[in-house]
Amino acid sequence: MSIIDPEIDVLLDETDNDRFLLCALASKRAHDINDMMRGQRDRAIQLSSAVEIAKANHVKPLSMAFAEIARGEVSFDPETIDRELGFAEGLGFNTVRIFFSNLVYTADPAGFKERFSQFLELCDKHGIRALPTFWTNGGKCIDPHLGKQPDAVRGNHNSQWVMTPGADYVNDPTRWGELEAMVKDLIGSYADDERILLWCLYNEPENHRRGVTNSVPLMKATFEWARSCNPSQPLTAPLWREVGVPGTSLPEVTFALENSDVISFHCYASGTVLEKFIKTLLPYGRPMVCTEYMRRPISTFEEAMPIFKKYNVGAINFGLTAGKCNFHYPWNKVDEKGWSIPWAEEPEVWFHDILHADGTPWNEEEVAFIRRMTGVAE
């Protein structure tokens, strides 16, 4: 078979000039497309983003797969995931937090679950459990869309992170049917999967609204959908405001506290504030996990990890390897609209992240401390 369009050189550029990778990726994607065309055609053609599927009577799945690869739209990368999970294992970490996309799921539910299952297999290989997150208002891309995403801007913290779902979904309950189907399918399919630690249903509701009028109704509905699946794993939504201080008697805080099986929270403050936060949550008598912390120099591993250990609180720091999301750059350089202004120089003290892309530490002493705290140090 000869490939005329797209040209073979274009395809190889998108797959690191690896012909085996190109063949494997195209074959896998063609298989996914074929399944989508046969088993979910009616659902897919209702989406404006699935126009190509509607034309599939005269376009073969393999041709569609090659076209997607040439456009840079196929980005699931098990090799990188496997490598970086290995980095996490080497640090003694046993949980990773991931974020879902409703658009990617709805366009191809079967393919989405197949890739998620592959991800869980890689996690299991490294002794790591997953903490999936469904919705989040945060993100630089406030108009989510399928296809190739905007290129990251170097020096821009959290560059091109995509909110899920978009404000057009959150603000319109008539569109929640798609979201309900996603929640019930995923939680129902993996309700007894021990590779999943717990389900985070809404990350930081009401924070970074990005056009969202009110997150609470969708959060409440999502808890109802999730509960109907009767999963073995706990459900949670993180507190991102400290309990017991002015301004925290808010619906999202109250609801999360009353309905989370495991209390999760975020704290990027000093050790003193972190310990105070934990003490305010102890009376609720439930397990606790801090699912975001660590922003140098204010919140550090050296100060926070002993506190978590003292109170038997699970902890997931934000960031692992310095990559295109630029988490090692600070938050706090913004314009008048609150958007990040790219930093010209890489910070001398990293904000988040622990390792360079090749796995070497930003700070070897810090990594040695982490490994001692997690029990994997020699």
Q: What is the DSSP string of 92-157?
A: T--EEEEE--HHHHHH-HHHHHHHHHHHHHHHHHTT-EEEEEEEE---SB-S--SSSPPPPPTT-T
Mean of per-residue pLDDT scores for the chain: 84
**Euclidean distance between CA atoms 25 and 15, whole angstroms:** 9
Q: With bands split at pLDDT 50, 70 and 90, how would you rate the model's confidence at 14?
A: low
- Asked if residue 65 and residue 208 are part of one domain, the reply reads no
pLDDT surpassing 80 at residue 52 = no
- Asked if residue 201 and residue 154 are part of one domain, the reply reads yes
- Asked if residue 267 and residue 156 are part of one domain, the reply reads yes
Asked if residues 110 and 40 have their Cβ atoms less than 8 Å apart, the reply is yes
pLDDT surpassing 60 at residue 204 = yes
pLDDT in the model for residue 279: 94
Side by side, which strands form the sheet with 288-292? Answer: 263-266, 288-292, 314-315
pTM surpassing 0.85? no
pLDDT surpassing 50 at residue 4 = yes
Q: Quick check: is 159 in a domain? A: yes
Q: Quick check: is 2 in a domain? A: no
- Looking at 70, 87, 116, the residue that finishes a domain is 70
Count of structural domains within the chain: 2
- Looking at 70, 97, 123, the residue that finishes a domain is 70
- Asked if residue 99 and residue 32 are part of one domain, the reply reads no
Give the contacts of 258 (CB within 8 A, at least 6 positions apart).
Answer: none
Q: How many residues does the chain have?
A: 378
Listed range (1-15, 52-66, 151-165, 307-321) with the worst mean pLDDT: 52-66
Q: Quick check: is 3 in a domain? A: no
Listed range (137-151, 179-193, 319-333) with the worst mean pLDDT: 137-151
pLDDT in the model for residue 161: 81
- The structure tokens listed for 354 are 């622990």
- Asked if residue 87 and residue 48 are part of one domain, the reply reads no
Q: What's the whole-number mean pLDDT along residues 259-281?
A: 95
- Asked if residue 54 and residue 14 are part of one domain, the reply reads yes
- Asked if residue 249 and residue 107 are part of one domain, the reply reads yes
pLDDT surpassing 80 at residue 369 = yes
Q: What's the whole-number mean pLDDT along residues 233-262?
A: 80
Q: Which domain holds residue 40?
A: 8-70
- Asked if residue 117 and residue 12 are part of one domain, the reply reads no
- Asked if residue 65 and residue 89 are part of one domain, the reply reads no
- Asked if residue 156 and residue 50 are part of one domain, the reply reads no
Q: Quick check: is 42 in a domain? A: yes
pLDDT in the model for residue 3: 53
**Euclidean distance between CA atoms 326 and 156, whole angstroms:** 6
**Euclidean distance between CA atoms 85 and 171, whole angstroms:** 36
Asked if residues 327 and 353 have their Cβ atoms less than 8 Å apart, the reply is yes
Q: With bands split at pLDDT 50, 70 and 90, how would you rate the model's confidence at 337?
A: low
Q: Identify the residue whose tokens are 């085996």.
A: 20
Q: What's the whole-number mean pLDDT along residues 130-153?
A: 83
**Euclidean distance between CA atoms 205 and 164, whole angstroms:** 12
**Euclidean distance between CA atoms 145 and 1, whole angstroms:** 33
User: 87 φ, ψ to 5°?
Assistant: -60, -45
Q: Quick check: is 1 in a domain? A: no
- Looking at 23, 39, 70, the residue that finishes a domain is 70
Q: Quick check: is 215 in a domain? A: yes
Report the CATH number at residue 237. Answer: 3.20.20.80
**Euclidean distance between CA atoms 165 and 285, whole angstroms:** 32
Q: What's the whole-number mean pLDDT along residues 54-76?
A: 58
- Asked if residue 239 and residue 315 are part of one domain, the reply reads yes
pLDDT surpassing 70 at residue 12 = no
Position 218, amino acid:
L
- Asked if residue 124 and residue 65 are part of one domain, the reply reads no
